Amino acid sequence: MKILVTGGAGFIGSNFVRRTLEDAYPGLEGAEVVVLDALTYSGNLENLAPVAGSSRYRFVQGDIRHAGLLDELMPSVDAVVHFAAESHVDRSVRDASIFVETNVLGTQQLLDAALRNDVARFVHVSTDEVYGSIAEGSWDEERPLLPNSPYSASKAGSDLLARSYHRTHGLNVSITRCSNNYGRYHFPEKVIPLFVTNLIDDKHVPLYGEGLNVRDWLHVDDHTRGIAMVLVGGRAGEVYNIGGGTELTNRELTQLLLDATGKDWSSVDRVEDRKGHDLRYSVDITKIRTELGYEPMVPFEQGLADVVQWYRERRDWWEPLKARAALV
C-alpha cells in the first residue's frame, strides 16, 4: 500500500508516519508513505528525522489547496490520510480566515482530487471539538455538530464535506474524531508542551479563568493507532470517535505539570478566559472498540512522565520553535 499523508510533518501526522514506517500497525506492514506538508509554522521536518532515510518515505512540500500538485501525487497512491489543518483555537479567534481556507477549502480540494484519481481509501482526521460542549455523559458519533470556535466550525465543515463525498459520489471515506492529544514532538503553543517548557525554564504559565474546563487526554500513539485501525478496517461513510479515557480539569492538569517539574502555584498566572471556551469534551468510544478492537493503551501518568522527560532532553527541538513563534 502507498499512503499520501497530508500534514505529515505536524505533531499527529508525523507520529502516524513514524509508526507506519516502523511497521507498528497491522495491515500496513511494508506500506510506502508520501508526506505532503506546506511546512507552515507548526510543520517541522525534524519531526520526521527518525525515518528520513527510509526507502519507503518521500516528502513533498506543498499546499493541499493546489489542485495541480494533488493531481501529480494522487494517481500513485492507494489511500489518503488527511491530517493537514490549522488547529490552534486561540489563533482562530484572532483570525478565522486561514482556518476556513485550509480546513474547508483544502479538504474540498483533496476530496475532489481523490475522486478524480480513483483513490481507493480516504481517512479524514477531525476533532471532538466539532460536537461543542457537553455537561455530562459522552458524545457518540450520532450527536449533532455544534461547534463553538472558528477552528471547530471549520473542522465541522470539513467533516460534512467528507461525508457528502461518500453520500454523493461513493468515495470510500471514513472520519475520525479525537480528544485532546499529548506526546512527543507536540508544538509548544499547546497547553502541555507550553507549560512544561515554561516551567522547566522557571517561567510562568497562563491558566484560563478558574481552570475548570475539562478535557479527555489521549496519547498520540493511541490516537494514530486508532487511525490506522480505521484506515484498514473502518466502514465507508462512518465516523469513529477516538478517546483516551483520562478526563481532567485544566486546574488538575496544571497541578500534575507543576508536580512533574518541581514547581508550585506561584508559577501560574490567572488570565481572562478564552472567548467561547467550551467547558467539557467527552467522547464515547464504544463504536471503535466494538467494531475494530481499539483500546487506549498508554496510561496517562506514564505518558505524561515520558513527555516531561522528553522536553527536558530535547531543547534542540523546542527552543528554536518557541523563538520563531514568539512563545519565549
pLDDT band at residue 41 using 50, 70 and 90 as cut-offs? confident
86 catalytically annotated: no
Residues 6+ apart with CB under 8 A from 30: 1, 23, 56
Burial class (CB in 10 A: 0-12, 13-18, 19+), 110: buried
pLDDT at 27: 98
pLDDT at 194: 97
Average of pLDDT values for 27-33? 98
Q: What cell does 1 get?
A: 500500500
89-103, 138-152, 300-314: lowest mean pLDDT where? 89-103
Q: Which residues pair with 247 in a beta bridge?
A: 216
Q: Which of the following is catalytic: 128, 159, 221, 278?
A: 128
- The helix-helix angle for 300-313 and 250-261 (nearest 10°) equals 50
Average of pLDDT values for 242-252? 97
Query: Does pLDDT of 326 surpass 80?
Result: no
**CA–CA distance from 326 to each of 41, 59, 189 (Å)?**
11, 27, 10
pLDDT at 328: 52
CA distance 293 to 297: 12
Query: Does pLDDT of 327 surpass 70?
Result: no
Query: Does pLDDT of 164 surpass 80?
Result: yes
Query: Does pLDDT of 86 surpass 90?
Result: no
151 catalytically annotated: yes
pLDDT band at residue 321 using 50, 70 and 90 as cut-offs? very high
Please provide the size of the chain in residues: 328
pLDDT at 88: 67
Average of pLDDT values for 161-186? 98
pLDDT tens-digit series, residues 265-281: 999 999 987 777 888 99
Burial class (CB in 10 A: 0-12, 13-18, 19+), 210: exposed
pLDDT at 276: 72
CA distance 307 to 256: 12
pLDDT tens-digit series, residues 42-68: 899 999 999 999 999 999 999 999 999
Q: What cell does 214 get?
A: 475539562
**Structural fold of domain 2-181+218-242:** Rossmann fold (3.40.50)
Share of the chain above pLDDT 90, in %: 88
pLDDT band at residue 250 using 50, 70 and 90 as cut-offs? very high
Q: Which of the following is catalytic: 32, 37, 63, 129?
A: 129
pTM for the structure as a whole:
0.95
Average of pLDDT values for 180-197? 96
Average of pLDDT values for 67-76? 97
pLDDT at 95: 76
| Identity of the residue numbered 75 | P
Residue ranges covered by each domain of the chain: 2-181+218-242, 182-215+246-276+299-324
Query: Does pLDDT of 216 surpass 90?
Result: yes
pLDDT tens-digit series, residues 103-129: 999 999 999 999 999 999 999 999 999
**Structural fold of domain 182-215+246-276+299-324:** UDP-galactose 4-epimerase; domain 1 (3.90.25)
Q: What cell does 84 get?
A: 493537514
Query: Does pLDDT of 307 surpass 60?
Result: yes
- The helix-helix angle for 250-261 and 191-200 (nearest 10°) equals 30
pLDDT at 138: 97
Q: Which of the following is catalytic: 25, 57, 151, 165?
A: 151
Strands (E) in the chain, as ranges, are 2-6, 32-37, 57-61, 79-82, 121-127, 173-178, 180-182, 205-208, 214-219, 239-242, 246-249, 268-271
Query: Does pLDDT of 97 surpass 90?
Result: no
Query: Does pLDDT of 151 surpass 60?
Result: yes
CA distance 92 to 320: 23
Q: What cell does 39 get?
A: 511546512
295 catalytically annotated: no
Sheet holding 246-249, edge to edge: 180-182, 214-219, 246-249
Average of pLDDT values for 310-317? 97
pLDDT at 275: 75
- How would you classify the pairing of strands 205-208 and 268-271? parallel
